[in-house]
Amino acid sequence: MASVRYRKRGDSNLWTYEIRNEGKTVAHNSGFKTKKLAESEAEPILQELRLGKRISRDISLVDLYQEWLELKILPSSRSEETKKKYLLRKNTIERLFGNKKVTQIRASEYQRIMNKYGQTVGRNFLGRLNTGIHQSIQMAIADKVLIDDFTQHVELFSSKEQQMTEEKYLHTEKDYLDLLLAVKRKFDYQRSIVPYIVYFLLKTGMRFGELVALTWNEVDFDRGLLKTYRRYNTLSHKFVPPKNKTSIRMVPIDEECIKILRLLQTEQERSNMELGIKNRYRMIFQHFGYIHSVPDIASVNKALSVLLNELDIYPIITTKGARHTYGSYLWHKGFDLGVIAKILGHRDISMLVEVYGHTLEEKIFEEFNQIRDIWKDCS
């Protein structure tokens, strides 16, 4: 596949580009004052080479999707994690369609394949896969390639039930407070850091990746605030950008959290010193038991599940459920949706209305009683 390389040459600091295809230089030029100027000339040539070589009626669906990725997704400002998800969907397409050409896939066959695959995945994943295929086909059609869009009238069905809203959060304030108390009883840094993570997920509503990315530099003990501006990926073991701009925020914590953090910091420093371990990034939830400093989300979800079963609390929530529960708890306590959105890092309240609008059971009955009281004054 054609590729381009940009370099700055000599004392003049001028830019040059070289386009290679199948091991040979097919285009080059120099003398550009900025890299952007070099790109403006090279990129159209590069795309023309790629399109002329790849997009035709004989192209396979998986190759067309790959071309769409390289032209529309990979150069975009999307996060690396998001781009990886697109690349993983390519593997799914290859598994479902093999090397079948786009001209060989009929609408009925596509519907049949999506129906079968829908028996194993959720509606959301199925929809994202279909959208990527549809957009890659539309790119080819826009390039005057004579193919039919077999995705146009597809209907998506998923036999895998999505988690009901009621299964995403703890239903009562009592369950929430009982869980917090039980987690605190398990605090023992020498044994595990996981209970601390669960506790702060429940007390801050932060995303798992945001919480484990925190360092001691991001704690304002005097004002009772945590600053979050990035996430930590426990698969790649790297810090990654925040989910969106509104994810960069200050999160309030109470005196109890501050006390726990001070004790945790002391215990962590003592243990690291005794074991000769360096907390390279000064991560709050670093623990000597993990090669890469912090546990992964699966370990935390498992511990949370075990604890909920011990307490006989239903539903069995995940780290994301802890976030939903905190949002519901704040809503139950009468906090404004705009304030809750800011604390949780949502762009606006629309997500809150969808996710937290269910409220807790106590809140529902409280509102029912207030409605009844209105009519007492009228009688």
Structure tokens at 310: 């011990």
pLDDT for res 222: 97
CATH code of the domain containing 253: 1.10.443.10
> Phi then psi for 14, rounded to 5 degrees?
-90, 150
Give the model's pLDDT for residue 1: 66
pTM over 0.75: no
Instruction: Indicate if 148 and 197 belong to the same structural domain.
Output: no
Residues 14, 61 within the same domain: no
| 10-residue averages of pLDDT along the chain (379 residues) | 81 84 75 88 75 67 93 84 88 94 94 93 89 93 82 87 61 93 97 98 97 98 97 92 92 97 98 96 97 94 94 92 91 86 87 62 68 72
Q: What is the pLDDT of residue 351?
A: 72
Task: Give the domain range for residue 4.
Answer: 1-54
User: At 107, which CATH number?
Assistant: 1.10.150.130
Residue 376 belongs to some domain of the structure: no
Q: Does residue 309 share a domain with residue 187?
A: yes
- Both 90 and 176 in one domain: the answer is no
- Judge if 94 and 169 occupy the same domain: no
| Residues 221, 135 share a domain | no
Q: How far apart are CA 87 and CA 64, in angstroms?
A: 13
Count of beta carbons in the 10 Å neighbourhood of residue 4: 18
pLDDT of residue 54: 47
Largest Cα–Cα separation, the chain:
91
Are 185 and 224 found together in one domain?
A: yes
CB-based contacts of 59, cutoff 8 Å, min separation 6: 67, 101, 102, 140
Task: Indicate if 156 and 190 belong to the same structural domain.
Answer: no
Q: Cβ(316)–Cβ(301) under 8 Å? A: no
Closest CA to 336 of 348, 319, 322: 348
**Number of structural domains the chain divides into:** 3
Query: Within this chain, do residues 48 and 73 fall inside the same structural domain, yes or no?
Result: no
**Any domain includes 215:** yes
Residue after which a domain boundary falls, among 54, 79, 94:
54
| 132/177 same-domain check | no
Regarding whether 227 and 152 lie in a shared domain, the answer is: no
Token pair listed for 319 = 């780290």
| Residue indicated by tokens 């996060």 | 79
Same structural domain, 121 and 213: no
Instruction: Assess if residue 375 is contained within a domain.
Output: no
